[in-house]
Structure 1
Amino acid sequence: MSHRSSTQLGNSAREHSRWAGATAPLAASCACRRRRDGRRPKTRAAAAVEAETKKAVVRIGTRGSPLAMAQAYMTRDLLKEAFPELSEENALEIVIIKTTGDKILSQPLADIGGKGLFTKEIDEALLSGRIDIAVHSMKDVPTYLPDGMILPCNLEREDVRDVFISAVAGSLSELPEGAVVGTASLRRQAQILHKYPYLKCENFRGNVQTRLRKLKEGVVDATMLAYAGLKRLDMEQHATAILDFEEMLPAVAQGAIGIACREGDESMGAYLAALNHEPTRVAIVCERAFLAALDGSCRTPIAGHARQADDGSLSFKGNVATPNGKRLLETSRSGAFNEEEAAKIGDDAGQQLKAEGGPDFFNW
């Protein structure tokens, strides 16, 4: 956004003062000069102040991490492309909101509240009217939404796979016994230890740049990140290997951006409807139904991925594991690619694994 400096505003004000100090007849003539609606024409100083204080049409709420900001900028640019009126100066404003998850980096997410740590403060800002829409990484969003808020829009999904990053090995299988993998994800930890029980996993939090720096400093031997995040930051070159689904099934909603607004806000709803990518939204409905059926939280190592197959049908794979990786339950489903069927497939898959695991499976 462009802002006029105080010097510029001061110059405008001085110009107005010189005009006001003109001869009496001239001043009187000007005093009588009014618009047809009876109001005086705006001085240049008043017009400048009005332009400066003009409220944005859409205030976009986001976390302040580089990745979150990249996603907010993406949303802003898509809105500008879709709606010419939003290309005007000051029509869009990005509002940075610090969340609990950003403030506490020394503890695992599961120990400080689990899901919702990266969304709670942003949701509160939305519901209080401080922002008009909220941009979230969908994998951070709990399966329930606060009353008065809806999430009608998913942008087109990025590559959902995980990447392996290391200076000492080309893949997880090449890491020597006792090597340390840094990850804040119990899902990744469980799948790693299930296949490679001789490796160690340590809590490894922070934004992408922080994790890469710690890796370079030798704090851990390897780490894993979402490929989508690296691509959105133009940092794909840091990936040592891209992992297929057999090696590492992704998190529910990984690679997807969700945009929320207040329930009943028709103007924001219309903006978001134009940005929504329906194939992504249907896939996310399936995955989140799976997560909800398993009562998933950051304490539950759950992975799930739904996609539209080549024949147009919905294909789903999911798993749930114990944090130490000793038990891992898997399932798969297919069906019609629509919202109703997607929700049913996800819920059925989750209920199946919940029954297979038994009442003691989730007690850790």
Structure 2
Amino acid sequence: MVIRIASRGSELALWQSRAVAGSLRAADPSLQVEIEVIRTTGDRIQDVPLAKIGDKGLFTKELDNALLEDQADLAVHSLKDIPTRLPDGLTLAAVTVREDPRDVVLLPPGQAGGLEALEPGARVGTSSLRRVAQLRKRRPDLELVDLRGNLNTRLAKLDRGEYDAIILAAAGVLRLGWRDRISAYLEPPRWLPAVGQGALGIVCRTDRDDIRAALAPLNDPDTAAATTAERALLRALEGGCQIPIGALGLVDEGQVYLAGLVADTDGSRILRVHQVGDVKHAAAVGRAAADELLAKGAGEILASVRARVVLAEPAAP
């Protein structure tokens, strides 16, 4: 059996797809696995802040189309990039064991310290409104500058002196072997990551029972339950990956513990909740957290953010 994996072309995306290919072969040595590189909207448009080019399927739409048109059998994504509502005919078939879900601070070579070590007015690069909101709450004296490009490009910009620090997801940094570049970890629950951060999500067509069976050994139940709670919170709030919503679920002894936040982009208002429930009802835990956030005023904050951040359709390539 030949399995074709649709993947973005960045070094990190290819690392992730090759890791999944290796796991598939380990589970069934008879499988032949090929990787098909597909360029996405998010990859093509590099000179516009992510929040201004749309947040629905920015890094997944073209890969989804490849599956629906039978040009590939499955697609590997960072789970944080997968919309909570998949196109008709597609399913999230597996969620892999999670890498470190935290955000991290990277500084230029030879420097050390975390956010507190930065001088007032230091230029910090990030493309995430969630990170912007938490940074403005924690260090309102910093200058926050949009940061685009793959991880290699972002690191090169830091090393050229375009930024005094950048904020990235620990998972990508660790997967590319850059552990020694991490200056500080931003610790939950004070600082929350993106929904699904650190996990890989594998999508295939709903009618491909053969592919779903091949992927079954790759699914990690604890990661799947934790991220189900996170994604249920995000879905209930109707938030995309570029809206300032953070969440982190943890599973322990049959319970899922979920921390969530909604923030205004200026950091003036950050609403936080914690919910606990049976791992078998992880989605209900996420919905309960969303209901609590809405009761605290999250709807007003999110409406305000959406009104100020104009989400336009991406320009034609």
TM range (shorter): over 0.9
Which residue identity does 1:147 align to in structure 2? D
SS in 2 for 1:123: helix
The CA distance in 2 between the partners of 1:150 and 1:122, in whole Å, is 13
Counterpart position of 2:201: 258
Question: 5 Å matches for 1:191-230?
Answer: 191-230=134-173
Tell me whether 1:320 sits opposite 2:262 in the alignment. Answer: yes
| Matched position secondary structure for 1:229 | helix
- Letter of the 1:200 counterpart: E
| TM-aligned CA deviation for residue 246 of structure 1 | 4.0
Does structure 1 residue 334 correspond to structure 2 residue 276? yes
RMSD of aligned C-alpha atoms? 1.3
Equivalent residues, number: 302
Could you tell me which of 41, 44, 52 is aligned with 1:100? 41
Q: Distance in 1 between matches of 2:52 and 2:283?
A: 30
Q: 1:19 is matched with which residue?
A: none
- Cα deviation digits, residues 189-216 of structure 1 (max 9, x gap): 1001011111121110111111111001
Compute the displacement of 1:248 (Å).
2.0
Q: Equivalent residue for 1:13? A: none
Letter in 2 for 1:138: L
Aligned AA for 2:266? Answer: N
Distance 1:83 1:298 in 2: 34
Q: How does 1:68-83 map to 2 (within 5 A)?
A: 68-83=13-28
* Equivalent of 2:29 in 60, 84, 92: 84
Q: Aligned match of 1:357 in 287, 297, 306? A: 297
Query: Where does 1:1-364 land on structure 2 (aligned, <5 Å)?
Result: 57-86=2-31, 91-167=32-108, 168=111, 170-309=113-252, 311-338=253-280, 341-357=281-297, 359-362=299-302, 363-364=304-305
Q: Give the 3 Å change call, closer, same or farther, for CA 275–183 of structure 1 in structure 2.
A: same
- Separation in 2, partners of 1:279, 1:247: 23
Extract unaligned runs of 5+ from structure 1: 1-55
Q: Which moved more, 1:67-76 or 1:261-270?
A: 261-270
Question: Unpaired runs of 5+ in structure 2?
Answer: 306-317
| CA displacement at 1:302 relative to structure 2 | 0.6
Which residue identity does 1:337 align to in structure 2?
V
Secondary structure of the corresponding residue to residue 280 of structure 1: helix
Q: Distance in 1 between matches of 2:298 and 2:290?
A: 12
Counterpart residue type for residue 33 of structure 2: L
Q: Secondary structure at the match of 1:160?
A: coil
TM-score (norm 2): 0.92
Stretches of 4+ aligned residues off by more than 4 angstroms: none
Question: Do the aligned residues in 1 keep the contact of 2:128 with 2:242 (CA within 8 Å)?
Answer: no
- Kindly provide the amino acid, as one letter, of the partner of residue 254 in structure 1: Q
SS at match of 1:228: helix
- Percent sequence identity over aligned pairs: 45
CA distance, structure 2, for counterparts of residue 358 and residue 316 of structure 1? 17
Residue in structure 2 matched with residue 52 of structure 1 by the alignment: none
- Structure 2 residue matching 1:210: 3-state secondary structure: helix
Structure 2 CA distance, aligned partners of 1:328 and 1:283? 22
Greater fraction of residues in strand = 2
Q: If you compute each CA radius of gyration, which structure gives the higher value, 1 or 2?
A: 1
Question: 1:182 & 1:129 partners in 2: Cα distance?
Answer: 38
Larger relative contact order (CA 8 Å, sep ≥ 6): 2
State the 1:169 CA deviation.
Answer: 5.0
Amino acid at match of 2:84: T
Q: Secondary structure at the match of 1:344?
A: helix
Q: Which residue identity lines up with residue 3 of structure 2 in the other structure?
A: V
CA contact (8 A) 1:154 1:276 kept: yes
Match of 2:312? Answer: none
Tell whether the 8 Å contact from 1:317 to 1:331 is kept in structure 2 after alignment. Answer: yes
- 2:233 and 2:255 map into 1 onto residues whose CA distance is 18
